[in-house]
Structure 1
Amino acid sequence: MWSWVLHRITGVAIFFFLLVHVLDTALIRLSPEAYDAVIGTYKNPIMGFGEVALVAAIVYHAFNGLRIIAVDLWPWATRHQRQLWWTVLGLWVITVGGFAARHIPIVLSNIGGGH
């Protein structure tokens, strides 16, 4: 059940990110100054940590989606759903951990106007 709940939550979160991304990118056609202003608001540590959350959501949704496909296609996967879910979680931890280990120091190095 938790894999289902997390899959739906991450799917909705990714949808809203894409909606905001399309809308803020569309600003460039209306007003390049407005676009620059909006993009400028994204350059802060909170949004940097938000990027980690976004990558975490995308990675979970992708790996769990592959698990769902396997369960739908192969009877052996149905019998091993629990092990497959733990595999998804393990891959998620490794992938997001690697990304976060690289990304968070960059985010923190930009605090105070550093480049």
Structure 2
Amino acid sequence: MMVEDPGPTELPLPAPCLWGCPECVRLLLALADAWADDCFWEQLQTARHIVEAHPECVPAQHLNRCKLCPQYASRADDDAARVWAQHRARDLFMPPEVARML
């Protein structure tokens, strides 16, 4: 499902739980460096790392105005659960209008 590009926006300050991890800091800096260009890969890598290394930081299901959470929740396979967790983890370091695009 493609969502319209919300246009340029600034990166928010990442969640505090990410600053104690050197790998999170490295990934967040790479994301910030790529922000003006295509930073899709950096977003995916950061979300994947958070889900794998810091699952306790992953936010709960979005309960309002998220078109993707119900789709992810309806699937029972492990891949969908992992991608759904990555979708929610993006809230920790991306602007909301961008975080919920994937």
Shorter-chain TM band: under 0.3
